[in-house]
Amino acid sequence: MLYREAGQFKTSYAADQQVFPIRQDRIGVAAALVVAFLVVPLVANQYWLSAILTPFLIFALATIGLNILTGYAGQLSLGTAAFMAVGAFAAYNFVLRVPDMPILLAFALAGVSAALIGIVFGLPSLRIKGFYLAVATLAAQFFVVWALTHFPWFSNYSTSGVISAQKMEILGFAFDTPVRKYLLALSIVAVLAIAAKNMVRSSVGRAWMAVRDMDVAAAVIGIRPLPTKLLAFAISSFYCGVAGALYAFAYLGTVEPEGFNLDLSFRILFMVIIGGVGSILGSFLGAAFIVLLPIFLNTMAPLLEHRLGLQLPAGLTSNLELIVFGSLIIFFLAVEPHGLARLWQIGKEKLRLWPFPH
C-alpha cells in the first residue's frame, strides 16, 4: 500500500533515468541522509560516534570499493587492506611533505595513489581468473605491507614504523572532535556511495557486469576486457585508498603497516559476501553486520552473566562470542546465500503486494 510505484508516471528521459526511479526510495534515501547528517550528531554520544558509526562508515566505503571489483566486475581480490594501507600512508606523506596541502586533496591523491598500485596489480587479471587471481592479489597484500615496513621513508623514519595522522583542517575549520570527524567521514562516504551507485548503472558499470558474466561474450559485443578490468581495479582501489586514509585520519589516529594485514582484507571480503555481492546497499549492510555484531555480542556477554548470576571462566566468554558470530554468519548465508541486500529486495517485493499477496 505504502510502497507502490503505481501512478508514478515518467514524462521525461531525465525522470526515467534517475538513480532512484521509485519515489518512495528517493524519500527513503533523503530521510536516511537527513537522519545521518542532522539527527545522529545531536542524539549519539561520543562512544557511538567515534567507536561505532565512524568505523562503520569507513568500512562501508572499503566494502563498496571491493564490491565494485568483485561484485560488479567479477574479479576476486584479497588485496583490499593493502590498498587501504597505500591510501593511509599516501595521505600522511602528502600532508607531511607538501606545504599547505588541503586535506580533501590529500585524500583524493591518496585514492589516486592506491588506484595506480591497483592498476599494477590488476594487470594479471587479463590472463588469470577466479582463485588464481585471488592469489595474485594476495601478492599485493604482502608486497605493500612489506614495502611500507622496509622503506622507513614512508613512515617518516619513525622508529616503530607507526605513523600518527596530522590534524584535519578545511579552510581553517578543524575536524578534531568525534562529531566533526563523523560528519567529515559521512560526507565523503555519502558522495562516493552515490557516485558508485550512479557508476554501476552507467555504460562503465554495464561493461563490468558483462565482463563478469562472460568475458568472451563481452569481448564479442565490443567491450575491451583489459581496459574494463583495469578500470575496475583502479576505481575499486581508489575507494579503498580513500577509506584507508579516513581509517587513519578520522578513526584510529595512528596506524602501522601491520594493522593492514590479510585479516582485514578477509573481513572486508566477508562484508561483501554477507551484505550482498554486487549491491551498494549490501556494502552498508555487510559492514554493519561485521563491525557491529562482535561489539554487540561483547557488550551483551557480561550483562547476561550478571543477569543469570553466572561466573563463566575468563576465556570462555571471549570464545563464545566468536562461536556465536560464526554461527550467525552461517545462519544468514544458509537463509539467504545472496546476502542481506537480497533479503531487503525480497522484502520490497513483498511490500509491493501487501496487503493483498497473491
The residue count for binding another protein (CB under 8 A) is 40
Cα(334)–Cα(291) distance, integer angstroms: 20
Residue that is written with C-alpha cell 595521505 in the block = 91
* Cell numbers placing 322: 566468536
Angle at 141 between CA 50 and CA 290, to 5 degrees: 40
Cell of 158: 619513525
Q: Which is nearer to another protein, 15 or 162 (CB)?
A: 162
Half-sphere exposure of 99 (CA within 13 A, CB side): 0
Shortest gap between Cβ of 113 and another protein (angstroms)? 22
Smallest separation, CB 325 to another protein (Å): 11
138 binds another protein (CB under 8 A): no
Q: For the window 308-337, what string marks contact with another protein as x by the rule CB under 8 A?
A: ---x-xxx-xxx-xx---------------
- Rounded Cα distance between 154 and 163, Å, is 9
Range 264-303, binding another protein (CB under 8 A) = 294-295, 298-300, 302-303
Q: How far is the CB of 102 from another protein (least distance, A)?
A: 19
Which range of residues in 15-23, 128-136, 158-166, 350-358 is near another protein by CB under 8 A? 158-166
**At residue 353, what are phi and psi to the nearest 5 degrees?**
-90, -20
Give the DSSP letter of residue 165: P
Report the residue from 18, 24, 149, 187 that binds another protein according to the rule CB under 8 A.
149
As beta bridge partners, residue 255 has 163
The residue (of 52 and 328) whose beta carbon lies closer to another protein is 52
266 burial level (CB within 10 Å; 0-12, 13-18, 19+): middle
* Contact residue for another protein among 25, 161, 270, 332 (CB under 8 A): 161
Residue 287 CB, nearest distance to another protein (Å)?
Answer: 13
Torsion-angle region of 22 (φ positive above 0: left; ψ -120 to 50: alpha; else: beta): beta
Closest CB to another protein among residues 128, 323 = 323
Report in angstroms how near the CB of residue 356 gets to another protein at its nearest. 21
Segment 220 to 259, residues that bind another protein, using CB under 8 A: 251-256, 258-259
Least separation in angstroms between residue 313's CB and another protein is 5
Q: Which is nearer to another protein, 72 or 251 (CB)?
A: 251
- 44 CA to centre of own chain: 22
**Binding residues among 22-61 for another protein as defined by CB under 8 A:** 46-47, 50-52, 55
Q: What are phi and psi of 94, to 5 degrees?
A: -65, -45
Peptide bond preceding 337: is omega within 30 degrees of 0, i.e. cis? no
Q: What backbone phi and psi angles, to 5 degrees, belong to 255? A: -135, 155
User: Rounded to the nearest whole angstrom, what is the least distance from the CB of residue 159 to another protein in the complex?
Assistant: 5
Helix axes 80-97, 225-246, angle to 10 degrees: 60
Q: What phi and psi, each to the nearest 5 degrees, are found at residue 223?
A: -95, 125
- Give the nearest distance from C-beta 36 to another protein in angstroms: 19
Q: Which residue from 10, 97, 224, 306 is in contact with another protein, where contact means CB under 8 A?
A: 306
Which residues would be at the binding site for another protein (CB under 8 A)? 46-47, 50-52, 55, 149, 159-162, 164, 251-256, 258-259, 261, 294-295, 298-300, 302-304, 306-307, 311, 313-315, 317-319, 321-322
